[in-house]
Amino acid sequence: NAGVTQTPKFRVLKTGQSMTLLCAQDMNHEYMYWYRQDPGMGLRLIHYSVGEGTTAKGEVPDGYNVSRLKKQNFLLGLESAAPSQTSVYFCASSPASVGTQYFGPGTRLLVL
């Protein structure tokens, strides 16, 4: 039972490079979320999706883009990485608008 998976687990980027983080869930959940976790800051919402083909901004969306072309996948893109985007990124999914969110294992990103 995979649940929520994230690819890659760890990545090092140089400033200005681009990359895409992939989140996949096999629970048929409608809602998906991207958070970032920084020391002493808790988790902050970047973007979220309430269904296939929809996306919305969260608390800290600048510098990121997302796409939800398939219900089971939610992609987070960094077009031009900056050192301030060094963080641990978590994806989550939820079955309903007030359902419990289940998290992936996280992606550690280091931008030099």
Interface residues with another protein (CB under 8 A)? 31, 33, 40-45, 48, 50, 56, 58, 88, 90, 92, 94, 96-103, 105-106
DSSP 3-state of 19: strand
Least distance to another protein, CB of residue 94, Å: 6
Least distance to another protein, CB of residue 1, Å: 15
Q: Which residue, 34 or 78, has its beta carbon nearer to another protein?
A: 34
CA atoms within 13 Å, Cβ hemisphere of 66: 28
C-alpha 85 chain-centroid distance = 12
What is the residue whose two structure tokens read 């550690």?
Answer: 108
> Is residue 69 within 8 Å of residue 53, measured between CB atoms?
yes
Q: Which residue, 63 or 106, has its beta carbon nearer to another protein?
A: 106
Least distance to another protein, CB of residue 108, Å: 8
Q: Which residue, 67 or 101, has its beta carbon nearer to another protein?
A: 101
Q: State how beta strands 87-94 and 107-111 pair.
A: antiparallel
Least distance to another protein, CB of residue 15, Å: 25
Cα–Cα distance, 28 to 56 (Å, whole number)? 19
